[in-house]
Chains A and B, each alone.
Chain A
Amino acid sequence: MNDTTTLPNSLRAQPDDRGHFGQFGGRFVSETLMPLILDLEREYRAAKQDPAFKAEFDELMRDFVGRPSPLYYAERLTEHYRAKAPAGKGPKIYFKREELNHTGAHKINNCIGQILLARRMGKTRIIAETGAGQHGVATATVAARFGLPCTIFMGAKDVERQKPNVFRMKLLGAEVHPVTSGAQTLKDAMNEALRDWVATVHNTFYIIGTVAGPHPYPELVRDFQSVIGNEAREQILEREGRLPDLLIAAVGGGSNAIGLFHPFLDDPEVAMTGVEAAGHGVETGQHAASLNGGLPGILHGNRTYLLQDEDGQITEAHSISAGLDYPGIGPEHSWLHDIGRVQYLPVTDAEALDAFQLCCKLEGIIPALESAHALAALETKALEMDEDRIIVVNVSGRGDKDIFTVADALGVAI
């Protein structure tokens, strides 16, 4: 690929100065938003160079979010797979415990970074999109913490499906705006947030929840989330004296995955698996696996793999996990997929549900359904790797929010 030959020494130097990761990324927004996008980029470059910005970010990460999150040896899950695996197989499994963060997921890492940028830019109002409500809750949390009014755009269907998170956002002082256009889910919430933003650019900061959207969002969200991988790297070196052999993370937009992967991209001995939501199965067409079942296109400000038809109309995604139920993926993942640095594996709703229950029973941890997709990849990976190998799985969020969905899927009335 041209992309790697222009930067032969590092896979961590993307995007280029136009926000492109190879053929992906970019700034596909209306002219009204372009000046703001350029301002944001300038402000982000300045913030990166500013020790005071980093100090404030680090302090909030420690005292407000509760970082560093532990790297936890999942002993019983390791034993489970060793018992199932052929002799000599069954690697050590570690969890990066992002579910222990304040608000229960990795989302808060990015929200802290972006609200500090919003303050630097003098913006006085916050907006965000949300699907399951995790990013909405995290955004409402930082808006409350900094005393900024906040409007969360959420598909009307998701408002109905995720009532506890809607109430959490309201408790935190956010206005929740149900979006009735389109399919009334995450993609439509993002459209509506963009429509709000284009009319309010003078005072409003849009906290995008994942490594997608126009440049510089994929870059800055990745950088804020890289705290996950930077910590994991330090922690595994301390525990094991070496780097892991495989990293596994679920990919919707892909922010928890890129956060774990990015600090390791230049370590060729570290393999990486991103897990896409295959819903009822990629072959059924009812899935959210943009890389395994989509094609490159342009949506929400960036060029990336998308679920779309032959005329470029975006098709509906499906996943049991609301957080993965999006027809696109962050552009850096599209690039990492095309150059082959990261393997992207589809996992179905049913496989994720099995992994969800296994993790509850063996480790005493209720994972988010998103994270359960990552755990499901262990069913193949943990059986084929040698027992002296090490896997780190990103447990990106806790599953309390998902118990109603899981009960429903298991046919249990609660």
Chain B
Amino acid sequence: MVSAPTVTGHAAMTDRIALAFARARSEGRAALVTFVTAGDPSIAATLDVLSALVEGGADVVELGMPFTDPMADGPAIQAANLRSLANGTTTAAIFQIARWFCERYPHVPLVLMGYANPMLRRGAEWFANQAASTGVSGVICVDLPPEEDDQLGPALRERGVHLIRLATPTTDAARLPAVLDGASGFLYYVSVAGITGLQQAAQASIEDAVARLKAATDLPVAVGFGIRSPDQAAAVGRVADGVVVGSAIVDLVARHGADAPAQVRTYIQSLSAALAAARKGVHA
């Protein structure tokens, strides 16, 4: 179980994302942000996997909303989306999972991540109401750039739900202010121009990017895409406020099915331990 965090500074006491990053910072480590696809391989199994994430030490949990056409995702998460949909995962079921999680782990922020069409199918107001009443802390909408923010952003922000923005290697200095305008929660740096789960970016390019982003925003910067091993996580965790791991967890779920929770817990523990040691031990 997660104990109530102690926070100094002015982070809003109700903002679980700010609290989670602040807690990690106070412990001298990067926050561990983890992703799983809802309903993969089943709704019941998702609950167990989510528990394993928290028990293993995840600070923030991203719950993937499956979509038939996940065009920003690599093979692992594509397959997870299809498995989930084949199991009949509905939007209602995803919110049931979210509600269960938020009630059981009230201190661990839950972020819904997915594509615009399933989120907006019943309208932005409906989705934002569901998210807020369920206890969801933030939303990542992969195919909603700042240019289309008005489709969803205002509805979420009015209800205190963060719309988390993404920055990428192609987000240049001229564009960065547009990305940061209205950004909240944390800034998700997609370290690779590409799809999820394949190669990892060079450490030097991640360091440069994080420095550039942190100079431009006070939001925590979490880095993701292609991070799998504890060593990779530790290297990124030395410079970033958060480390995002997704496809590697989804792979474990795919490989181990009903036995996945124990595997996931062990894996997450190895990442947490690496992050906890990263800024204390020998620098790479």
Contacts and interface: CB of A to CB of B under 8 A. Distances in A.
A199 B166 contact: no
Contacts of B85: 313
B143 A298 contact: yes
A297 B14 CA distance: 33
Interface of B: 67-75, 78, 82, 85, 90-91, 115-121, 142-145, 147-148, 151, 165-172, 175, 179, 190, 192-195, 198
Interface stretch (A27-35, A115-123, A353-361): A27-35
Contact of B72 (A30, A35, A314): A30
B69 A191 contact: yes
Interface residues of A, number: 37
Contacts of A27: 145, 147-148
Nearest to A32: B168
B121 A311 contact: yes
Nearest to A20: B148
Interface string A285-309: 0000000000001111100001010
A311 B90 contact: yes
Contacts of B175: 34-35, 38
B170 A36 contact: yes
A350 interface: no
Which among B78, B90, B117, B168 has the greatest number of chain A C-beta atoms within 10 A? B117
A314 B194 contact: no
B117 A32 contact: no
B71 A34 contact: no
A236 interface: no
A182 interface: yes
A333 B145 CA distance: 24
Contacts of A298: 115-117, 120, 143
Given A198-B72, A198-B193, A199-B195, A34 B117 contact: no
A332 B143 CA distance: 20
A314 B117 contact: yes
Contact of B195 (A195, A306, A313): A195
Contacts of A182: 68-69, 78, 82
A34 B147 contact: yes
Contacts of B147: 18, 26-27, 34
A30 B145 contact: yes
A30 B225 CA distance: 14
